[in-house]
């Protein structure tokens, strides 16, 4: 059966997207370190070029099929049957676009705030971009694993070199957490390789049926890698530290793209590879998701640090995502995928915004703020937009995702839906309280006289504002990408992988 | 025919223009954009009303909003009789209050922002009433809540204002939690969330039960009560009423428009809109009626003793909203809508008059510091007097007709709690008349009790404010005339108009009984006014004496039954305490982090022990080697 649609754009678009930033990073090496302006402008141009190149993915994507599109396949290590195999479908396409967009914003937000080792900083950002896109496009497990681990290094550097005072602890913690998970997944990949008769091809592996016992073991091995990345309760504690210590651009990449990898992994690998195990583990997954939603939200009520609060709110929001995914129905899954994009946009934007005011005040303590709306009205209005999106107000993107997830979650398990919905009440509580303490009430001496955000900063946030309302008012433009792929995936899961076996049985009977 | 789209989208355009260009360019001209937009909406609304009167109902989709599998919903509009009534109420009040605000907000530094929010509110409210499906209703619902949050917290540099805004939003979220689940239940039951198919199929599910969270419940009761959760929040009914009195932190025109005339009535509108569902569940209707009746009594008693002029009117609003729910709960949806419609005029007027008084008193709100304002501000006095006569149910005024219809249908309808809520309703009618006239007498009659400076400053408000007062006053007096009952020789046109959507309950009573119910309510109203006159005009020492004699009861009422304190004690503080001490202090720090930091530490300890073996001293290595050899030899020998 043909599983892919060839790329008909006339050039290998996915490879270009992966290696253009990497090549850009290599060229940065040639620029003199003292020429900071050239470094910044060059990085900006590279990131914009990558974004422009990614636009055809949005415009030319064939929404009427679940098959992989824009594919490329070359033999890489033939002796082990490892291929350089790329392609995207309705589940991954939006994340590639998100990655290229976020990178531009990360370059812009760092313009004046990164003063030391500028060259290395932008090299890290660009390599990061290539690796992230690689993860979303890989159709070969070895290639995937390569990109997956490749992401760790630039992120580790971003936190450890350009981070806050406690950066080394946070960076090491981040590194160890994710590495432990990944290694277990590597073992799983190798087991699969032998089980399937020597192939790393993801499309091939996801059509085979594995014994239930094995599925169960492998499900948890992959879970270790993905749950840490999401992060799910109780392996979330690296996230607040990493977010708090990372420079703004690091937090943004982390929130917008990196932690999406975990949820993406569940959808792309865990569900189709281990459908029976996934279904059997649904109660556990829903429970963990609901705990994350409520736990993350309640803990936000007691935060005193701006970035830490937003980090914990990510735990809550990602709980919604995993709830949607493991609801194992169409609304839940589509809501979950959309909510991943939404969370990337909104939390990314919140970190960008916090970064802007941090650049002015150099404090993350909420108590150091107050009355910012009087001194920075434009900034306050924009921050309000993201606050509202974060608490899921209708006509913003957050609402669409959360509503579909709660609908799907409720369908799968009434308690899960009801308990998840309480997260929305608490969410309004901590976000509005945060907003009040920072923007309302009497002007704190520490923020008096601050300059409102400038044009560069407005341009940085503008794409996010547009996305908040675009997805909120016309979500079909984005949901339309997913329908076929999600439907296909759910068929695979709900037929318990026995679908193919059933066909084989029928064929046998016909032959007889 | 699609020009009805202008009704919501003109105000939206005004909002966008003001929020984007108001601060830098429009400044003190911002009101023009908003007023022209809302006046335009009003004109189109009137044209649309004539269409509806001619029997043309609009129900069409604009564009597909969310599609996910079998879940499909559009942005779409339904304009039937019920919507038409709401449209008239919303656009009329909104237009007048926009104009009033030009005078009231004059010179405020956030002028453009104020008008931007008012326009956004009008847009959301119109989307709410014009929706043809539940999700768009929910959009408008949360949207008006947001505008309410913005406008309550309009003076955001005041802590109390920003607290009140936040409180309103979060308390409403509690209600919307149920509302949202209700929408989900509707979808799972009917496979759609459009009104038309849902309501036409509802009868088929009349006797169905469903397992909800482990309990077998009657499906329609469940859905109705979940929806009603939303109503309780938005319309400030018990136990979620706590946000509305605090909402008075907002500018007074906001209190008039949002927290009296329009937004808070959305809950009543929701129940009326979903009457095909509510009517299928006697239990749900009974709960609606009792909630309304008890809230209405509860709020009226608090209103008796308050001194803040706006808070009294706020409690009066809660009480009157309770009245509307009482009506809906006995199946008299049309009567509830009728009261909603008359209430919008006299209550908006009361607030705007209060605003006019505040304007004259330089922001003073305390009744005890007013008095004798009649001669300084005659227009305000007379219009407020008429509004109070209307709310007190004096015959001939708008409030009389709607209140009488509610009481009559409660008395004569088939609801099992009908007689009970009728008694409460009558008592509330008495209390309402009393506190409304307490306010009038303390404010406008007697001697001025404020400072000399204030007295010097007293003046009637500018034309931009008094003209809307006069126009609303006409509504407060005459709006009820479209619903004069057959008993008094009227045509009950209002009821007839809404009948196709809401139906009308059978009244089981004689004409004599109908006269009796009417007479009792009139007596209740007049005795309330009379008692207030006695207490506050003639024997002014009685109230002081009473508060001393019944000090405990007075304290409970003065402190609003301590509900806020209770919520703070059982919800707010425990949540924050848990977050601080259990989640951060124990789970995250002592359990998860202990494991996270403990494993590497353990490995570190282990290697530290191993490291001790490597001392670098040759003698040690030699000794260990010898020991090893010894052990191996011993093992070989012993085998």
Model confidence pLDDT, tens digit, residues A184-199 = 999 999 998 988 888 8
Read off the pLDDT band of A510 (50, 70, 90). low
Please give the structure tokens belonging to residue B320: 């009157």
- Residue A401 has a pLDDT of 92
Question: CB–CB of A105/A348 below 8 Å?
Answer: yes
Question: CB–CB of B120/B254 below 8 Å?
Answer: no
Q: pLDDT digit string (tens) for B211-250?
A: 888 888 888 999 999 999 999 999 989 888 888 888 888 8
Report whether pLDDT(A40) > 80.
yes
- Cβ of B181 within 8 Å of Cβ of A237? The answer is no
Report whether pLDDT(B557) > 80.
no
Q: pLDDT digit string (tens) for A307-346?
A: 989 999 999 999 999 999 999 999 999 999 999 999 999 9
* Alpha-carbon gap, residue B99 to B97, rounded angstroms: 5
Closest partner CB to A404 (pick from B68, B180, B600): B68
- Cβ of B65 within 8 Å of Cβ of A476? The answer is yes
| Chain B interface test: which of A237, A304, A385 (most B C-beta within 10 Å) | A237
Query: CA nearest B498: which of B327, B351, B347, B616?
Result: B327
Say which residues have a Cβ less than 8 Å from residue B13's Cβ, sequence separation at least 6. B37
Closest partner CB to B143 (pick from A381, A394, A441): A394
| Chain B interface test: which of A425, A438, A462, A481 (most B C-beta within 10 Å) | A425
Q: pLDDT digit string (tens) for A117-132?
A: 888 899 999 999 999 9
- Cβ of B68 within 8 Å of Cβ of A425? The answer is no
- CA nearest B584 in A: which residue? A299
Say yes or no: A301 contacts chain B, CB-CB below 8 A.
yes
- Residue A1 has a pLDDT of 41
Please give the structure tokens belonging to residue B560: 């609003």
Closest partner CB to A371 (pick from B157, B584, B588): B157
Q: Mean pLDDT throughout A226-242? A: 86
CB within 8 Å of chain B, chain A residues 391-430: 393-395, 399-400, 403-404, 406-407, 410-411, 414-415, 417-418, 421-422, 424-426, 428-429
Query: What would the DSSP string read from start to end of B573-629?
Result: HHHHHIIIIIIIIIIIIIIIHHHHHHHHHHHHHHHHHHHHH----HHHHHHHHHHHH
- Shortest Cα distance, chain A CAs vs residue B280, angstroms: 24
DSSP element (H, E) containing A451? none
Read off the pLDDT band of A295 (50, 70, 90). confident
Question: CB–CB of A37/A115 below 8 Å?
Answer: no
Closest partner CB to B146 (pick from A295, A388, A406): A388
- Shortest Cα distance, chain A CAs vs residue B382, angstroms: 38
Q: Dihedral through CA B363, CA B364, CA B367, CA B371, nearest 10?
A: -90
Determine the distance from the C-alpha atom of residue B593 to the mean position of all C-alpha atoms in its chain, rounded to a whole number: 44
Closest partner CB to B174 (pick from A399, A425, A442): A425
CB within 8 Å of chain B, chain A residues 163-182: 173, 176-177
Closest partner CB to B584 (pick from A302, A374, A411): A302
- CA nearest A303 in B: which residue? B580
- CA nearest A431 in B: which residue? B166
Closest partner CB to A479 (pick from B67, B153, B162): B67
Top-confidence residue, B536 or A502: B536
- Residue A506 has a pLDDT of 54
| Chain B interface test: which of A379, A440, A475 (most B C-beta within 10 Å) | A440
- Shortest Cα distance, chain A CAs vs residue B214, angstroms: 9
Query: What pTM did the predictor assign?
Result: 0.89
Q: pLDDT digit string (tens) for B55-112?
A: 888 888 888 999 888 899 999 999 888 899 899 999 998 998 898 888 888 878 888 8
Say which residues have a Cβ less than 8 Å from residue A214's Cβ, sequence separation at least 6. A191, A195
- Cβ of B170 within 8 Å of Cβ of A432? The answer is yes
Closest partner CB to B576 (pick from A302, A407, A436): A302
* Alpha-carbon gap, residue B254 to B251, rounded angstroms: 6
Determine the distance from the C-alpha atom of residue B177 to the mean position of all C-alpha atoms in its chain, rounded to a whole number: 15
Read off the pLDDT band of B514 (50, 70, 90). confident
Residues of chain A contacting residue B186, judged by C-beta atoms under 8 Å apart = none
Read off the pLDDT band of A99 (50, 70, 90). very high
CB pairs under 8 A between A and B: 137
- Cβ of A476 within 8 Å of Cβ of B64? The answer is yes
Q: pLDDT digit string (tens) for A46-65?
A: 999 999 999 988 888 888 88
- Cβ of B65 within 8 Å of Cβ of A426? The answer is no
Which of A11-20, B111-120, B432-441, B562-571 comes out lowest in average pLDDT?
B562-571
| Chain B interface test: which of A178, A407, A474 (most B C-beta within 10 Å) | A407
Q: What is the ipTM of this complex?
A: 0.89
- CA nearest B600 in A: which residue? A176
- Cβ of A474 within 8 Å of Cβ of B63? The answer is yes
- Shortest Cα distance, chain A CAs vs residue B174, angstroms: 6
Dihedrals phi, psi of B406, to nearest 5 degrees: -60, -50
Top-confidence residue, A352 or A1: A352
Closest partner CB to A425 (pick from B170, B583, B584): B170
Instruction: Calculate ∠ Cα A109-A297-A255, nearest 5°.
Output: 25
The three state secondary structure string of B483-532 is HCCHHHCCCCHHHHHHHHHHCCCCCCCCHHHHHHHHHHHHHHHHHHHHHH
- Cβ of B156 within 8 Å of Cβ of A411? The answer is no
- Shortest Cα distance, chain B CAs vs residue A145, angstroms: 25
Handedness of CA B226, B231, B237, B242 (dihedral sign): positive
Cβ atoms within 10 Å of A410's Cβ, excluding its own: 24
Residues of chain B contacting residue A388, judged by C-beta atoms under 8 Å apart = 146
Q: Dihedral through CA B175, CA B178, CA B183, CA B186, nearest 10?
A: -140
Read off the pLDDT band of A263 (50, 70, 90). very high
For chain A, which residues make up each domain, given as ranges? 4-507
CB within 8 Å of chain B, chain A residues 319-358: 329-331, 334-335
Query: What would the DSSP string read from start to end of A249-300?
Result: HHHHHIIIIITHHHHHHIIIIIHHHSHHHHHHTHHHHHHHHHHHHHHHHHHH
Beta bridge partners of B71: B68
Residues of chain A contacting residue B187, judged by C-beta atoms under 8 Å apart = 407
pLDDT above 70 covers a percentage of chain A that reads: 95
């Amino acid at each position: 059966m043909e599983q892919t649609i060839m790329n008909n754009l006339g050039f290998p678009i996915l490879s270009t997207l992966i290696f253009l930033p990497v090549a850009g990073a290599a060229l940065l090496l040639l620029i003199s370190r003292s020429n900071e302006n050239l470094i910044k402008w060059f990085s900006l141009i590279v990131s914009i070029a990558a974004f422009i190149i990614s636009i055809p993915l949005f415009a030319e994507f064939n929404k009427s099929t679940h098959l992989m599109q824009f594919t490329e396949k070359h033999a890489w290590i033939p002796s082990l049957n490892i291929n350089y195999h790329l392609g995207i479908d309705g589940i991954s396409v939006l994340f590639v676009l998100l990655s290229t967009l976020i990178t531009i914003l990360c370059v812009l937000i760092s313009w004046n705030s990164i003063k030391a080792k500028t060259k290395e900083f932008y090299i890290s950002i660009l390599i990061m971009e290539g690796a992230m896109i690689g993860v979303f496009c890989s159709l070969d497990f070895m290639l995937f694993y390569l990109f997956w681990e490749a992401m760790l290094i630039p992120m580790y550097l971003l936190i450890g070199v350009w981070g806050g005072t406690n950066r080394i602890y946070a960076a090491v913690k981040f590194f160890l957490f994710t590495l432990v998970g990944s290694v277990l997944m590597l073992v799983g990949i190798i087991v699969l390789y032998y089980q399937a008769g020597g192939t790393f091809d993801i499309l091939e592996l996801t059509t085979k049926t594995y014994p239930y016992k094995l599925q169960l073991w492998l499900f948890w091995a992959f879970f270790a890698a993905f749950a840490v990345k999401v992060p799910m309760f109780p392996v979330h504690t690296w996230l607040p530290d990493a977010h708090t210590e990372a420079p703004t651009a690091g937090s943004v990449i982390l929130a917008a793209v990196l932690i999406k990898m975990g949820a993406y992994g569940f959808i792309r690998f865990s569900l189709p590879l281990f459908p029976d195990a996934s279904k059997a583990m649904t109660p556990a997954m829903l429970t963990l998701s609901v705990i994350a939603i409520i736990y993350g939200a309640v803990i936000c009520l007691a935060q005193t640090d701006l970035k830490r609060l937003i980090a914990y709110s990510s735990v809550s929001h990602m709980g919604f995502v995993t709830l949607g995914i493991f609801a194992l129905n169409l609304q839940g899954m589509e809501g979950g995928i959309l909510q991943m994009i939404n969370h990337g946009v909104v939390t990314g934007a919140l970190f960008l915004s916090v970064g802007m005011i941090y650049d002015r005040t150099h404090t993350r303590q909420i108590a150091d703020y107050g009355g910012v709306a009087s001194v920075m009205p434009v900034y306050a209005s924009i921050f309000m937009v993201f606050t509202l999106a974060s608490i899921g107000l209708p006509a913003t993107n957050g609402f669409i995702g959360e509503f579909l997830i709660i609908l799907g979650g409720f369908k799968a398990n009434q308690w899960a839906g009801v308990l998840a919905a309480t997260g929305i009440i608490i969410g309004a509580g901590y976000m509005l309280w945060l907003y009040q303490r920072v923007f309302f009430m009497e002007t704190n001496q520490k923020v008096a006289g601050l300059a409102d955000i400038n044009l560069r900063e407005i341009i940085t946030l503008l794409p996010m504002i547009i996305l908040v309302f675009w997805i909120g008012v016309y979500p079909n433009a984005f949901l339309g990408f997913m329908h076929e792929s999600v439907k296909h995936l759910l068929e695979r899961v709900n037929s318990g992988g026995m679908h193919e076996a059933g066909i084989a049985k029928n064929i046998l009977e016909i032959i007889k | 025919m699609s020009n009805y789209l202008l009704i919501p989208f003109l105000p939206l355009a005004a909002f966008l223009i003001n929020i984007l260009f108001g601060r830098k360019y429009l400044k003190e001209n911002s009101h023009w954009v908003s007023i022209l937009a809302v006046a335009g909406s009003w004109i189109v609304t009137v044209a649309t009303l004539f269409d509806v009167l001619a029997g043309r109902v609009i129900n069409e989709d604009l564009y597909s909003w969310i599609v996910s599998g079998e879940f499909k919903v559009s942005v779409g509009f339904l304009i039937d009789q019920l919507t038409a009534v709401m449209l008239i109420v919303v656009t009329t009040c909104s237009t007048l209050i926009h104009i009033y605000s030009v005078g009231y907000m004059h010179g405020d530094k956030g002028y453009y922002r104020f008008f931007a929010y008012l326009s956004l509110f009008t847009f959301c409210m119109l989307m709410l009433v014009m929706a043809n499906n539940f999700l768009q209703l929910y959009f408008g619902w949360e949207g008006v809540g947001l505008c309410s949050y913005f406008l309550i917290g309009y003076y955001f540099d005041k802590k109390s204002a920003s607290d009140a805004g936040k409180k309103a939003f979060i308390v409403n979220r509690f209600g919307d939690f149920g509302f949202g689940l209700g929408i989900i239940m509707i979808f799972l039951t009917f496979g759609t969330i459009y009104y038309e198919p849902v309501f036409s199929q509802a009868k088929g599910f009349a006797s169905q039960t469903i397992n909800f969270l482990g309990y077998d419940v009657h499906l329609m009761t469940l859905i109705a009560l979940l929806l009603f959760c939303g109503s309780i929040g938005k319309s400030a009914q018990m136990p979620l009423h706590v946000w509305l009195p605090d909402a008075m932190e907002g500018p007074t025109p906001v209190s008039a428009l949002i927290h009296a005339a329009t937004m808070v009535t959305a809950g009543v509108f929701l129940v009326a809109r979903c009457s095909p569902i509510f009517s299928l569940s006697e239990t749900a209707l009974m709960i609606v009626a009792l909630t309304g009746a008890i809230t209405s009594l509860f709020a009226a008693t608090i209103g008796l003793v308050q001194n803040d002029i706006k808070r009294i009117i706020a409690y009066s609003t809660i009480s009157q909203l309770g009245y509307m729910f009482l009506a809906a709960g006995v199946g008299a949806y049309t009567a509830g809508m009728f009261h909603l419609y008359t209430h919008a005029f006299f209550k908006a007027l009361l607030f705007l008059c209060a605003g006019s008084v505040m304007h004259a008193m330089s922001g003073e709100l305390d009744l005890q510091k007013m008095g004798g304002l009649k001669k300084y501000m005659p227009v305000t006095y007379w219009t407020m007097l008429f509004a109070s006569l209307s709310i007190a149910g004096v015959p001939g005024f708008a409030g009389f007709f709607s209140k009488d219809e509610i009481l009559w249908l409660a008395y004569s309808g088939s609801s099992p709690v009908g007689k009970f809520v009728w008694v409460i309703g009558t008592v509330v009618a008495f209390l309402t008349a009393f506190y409304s006239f307490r306010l009038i007498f303390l404010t406008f009659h007697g001697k001025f009790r404020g400072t000399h400076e204030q007295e010097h400053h007293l003046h009637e408000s500018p034309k931009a404010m008094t003209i809307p007062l006069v126009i609303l006053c006409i509504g407060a007096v005459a709006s009820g005339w479209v619903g004069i009952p057959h008993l008094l020789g009227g045509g009950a046109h209002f009821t007839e108009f809404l009948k196709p959507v809401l139906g009308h309950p059978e009244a089981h009573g004689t004409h004599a009984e109908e006269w009796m119910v009417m007479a009792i309510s009139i007596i209740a109203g007049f005795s309330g006014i009379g008692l207030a006159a006695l207490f506050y005009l003639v024997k002014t020492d009685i109230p002081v004496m009473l508060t001393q004699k019944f000090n405990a009861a007075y304290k409970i009422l003065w402190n609003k039954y301590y509900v806020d304190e209770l919520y703070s004690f059982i919800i707010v503080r425990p949540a924050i305490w848990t977050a601080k001490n259990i989640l951060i202090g124990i789970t995250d720090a002592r359990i998860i982090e202990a494991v996270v930091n403990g494993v590497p530490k353990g490995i570190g300890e282990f290697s530290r022990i191993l490291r001790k073996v490597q001392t670098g001293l040759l003698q040690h290595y030699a000794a260990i080697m010898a020991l090893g050899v010894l052990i191996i030899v011993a093992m070989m020998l012993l085998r």
